[in-house]
Amino acid sequence: MKAWWVEHPGSISREPSPLVLGERAVPVPGPHELLVRVTACGVCRTDLHLTEGDLAPRRPQVVPGHEIVGVVQSTGAAVSRFVPGDRVGIAWLQRADGECRFCRNDHENLCLSPTFTGWDVDGGYAEYAVGNEAFCYALPPELDDEHAAPLLCAGIIGYRALRRAQLPAGGRLGIYGFGASAHITAQVATHEGATVHVLTRSENARRLALELGAASARDAYDDPPEPLDAAILFAPVGDLVPVALSALDRGGTLAIAGIHLTDIPTLNYEAHLFQERSVRSVTANTRRDGIELLALAVPMHLRIETQAYDLASAADALRDLAADKVTGAAVMLP
């Protein structure tokens, strides 16, 4: 099968490219696994971090991609939830051990020995991928492959970040950065009655934010038009942490959604943290997050803005993402 893998992590704009296209054997599913023919794979910023070395690969020549939609081709001997022909989604969390203290307390996203798609095991930048049955999602038929794929990480992580931000009912939410995850999260928050203010450097993203119902859209370093009850930082830019904290009202919470963040400047206690302002990180996702989001997506009529690429153009998709040329979510299709 055709597949891309990370040969030597480095800048996606360099030559030779750190991402290489070649031939791999079709994977064989284990007893609890599904072999899936990939019909769509979202291009996530985490894939870019992995390719460029911000996120160190867990195995040599790993195939990126963890927003996978596909059709089950075959199953391991112990599989009972899915059969060949079913359409499924494979997300970032490939497996949790189910035994550690975090898994036992319903925090499988904090598992002590997790496995991640496109990091520990090969992902969806390929014609076929393998998923753990217990961590695969049945997808609503109303969502086509292209628009379902971004929900499997961008959507899930944004949904978890929104919950971690502890936004009160009818509250004022600031969103810093407005890519794949943020444009989905903004719609969920608006649907639930929030006033959403978007702060991002991209003019195209600001325009999209207003189309999707944001009350305002300004540059990332601007002040929002009113104090915020909560904020979510999607841009992997540590410089924005004090900016977002300064915009919070008393008792507000900042949730940082990315797996990678550049260094945070020195914080001033009185200006940034006093009056019970809080900072929270977001680590992976639980299956419950994915199930809840997928249940919301259809009745909410979520608008998923996508930019399509074919599999042969995976490196181009990552280059466009690095250059902020993608509005919404990039998705690879066969």
For residue 251, what pLDDT is reported?
Answer: 98
- How far is Cα 53 from Cα 28, in angstroms, rounded to an integer? 28
CB 137 within 8 Å of CB 156: no
Task: State pLDDT tens for residues 174-200.
Answer: 999 999 999 999 999 999 999 999 999
Q: Looking at residues 240-253, what average pLDDT do you find?
A: 98
Instruction: Please say if the pLDDT value at position 314 is more than 90.
Output: yes
Instruction: Please say if the pLDDT value at position 225 is more than 90.
Output: yes
Fold for the domain defined by 2-150+305-333: Quinone Oxidoreductase; Chain A, domain 1 (3.90.180)
Residue 290 phi, psi dihedral angles, 5° rounding = -65, -45
The CB density around residue 182, as the number of other CB atoms within 10 Å, is: 28
Instruction: Please say if the pLDDT value at position 33 is more than 90.
Output: yes
Task: State pLDDT tens for residues 87-96.
Answer: 999 999 999 9
Beta bridge partner(s), residue 115: 95
Paired tokens of 255: 């949730």
- How far is Cα 277 from Cα 15, in angstroms, rounded to an integer? 45
pTM of this prediction?
0.95
Q: Looking at residues 42-68, what average pLDDT do you find?
A: 96
Q: Looking at residues 3-7, what average pLDDT do you find?
A: 97
Spatial CA neighbour of 285 closest among 159, 178, 193, 188 = 159
For residue 202, what pLDDT is reported?
Answer: 94
Output the 3-class SS for the chain: CEEEEECCCCCCCCCCCCEEEEECCCCCCCCCEEEEEEEEEEECHHHHHHHHCCCCCCCCCCCCCCCEEEEEEEECCCCCCCCCCCEEEECCEEECCCCCHHHHCCCHHHCCCCEEECCCECCCCECEEEEEHHHEEECCCCCCHHHHHHHHCHHHHHHHHHHHCCCCCCCEEEEECCCHHHHHHHHHHHHCCCEEEEECCCHHHHHHHHHCCCCEEECCCCCCCCCEEEEEECCCCCCHHHHHHHHEEEEEEEEECCCCCCCCCCCCHHHHHCCCCEEEECCCCCHHHHHHHHHHHHHHCCCCCEEEEEHHHHHHHHHHHHCCCCCCEEEEEC
Spatial CA neighbour of 91 closest among 48, 59, 134, 32 = 134
Paired tokens of 227: 């104090």
- List the chain domain ranges: 2-150+305-333, 156-281
Instruction: Please say if the pLDDT value at position 18 is more than 90.
Output: yes
CB 150 within 8 Å of CB 179: no
Instruction: Please say if the pLDDT value at position 97 is more than 90.
Output: yes
Task: State pLDDT tens for residues 112-170.
Answer: 999 999 999 999 999 999 999 999 999 999 999 999 999 999 999 999 999 999 999 99
Q: Which CATH class is domain 156-281?
A: alpha beta
Alpha-carbon Rg for the chain, nearest whole angstrom, is: 19
Task: State pLDDT tens for residues 134-149.
Answer: 999 999 999 999 999 9
Instruction: Please say if the pLDDT value at position 334 is more than 90.
Output: no
For residue 71, what pLDDT is reported?
Answer: 98
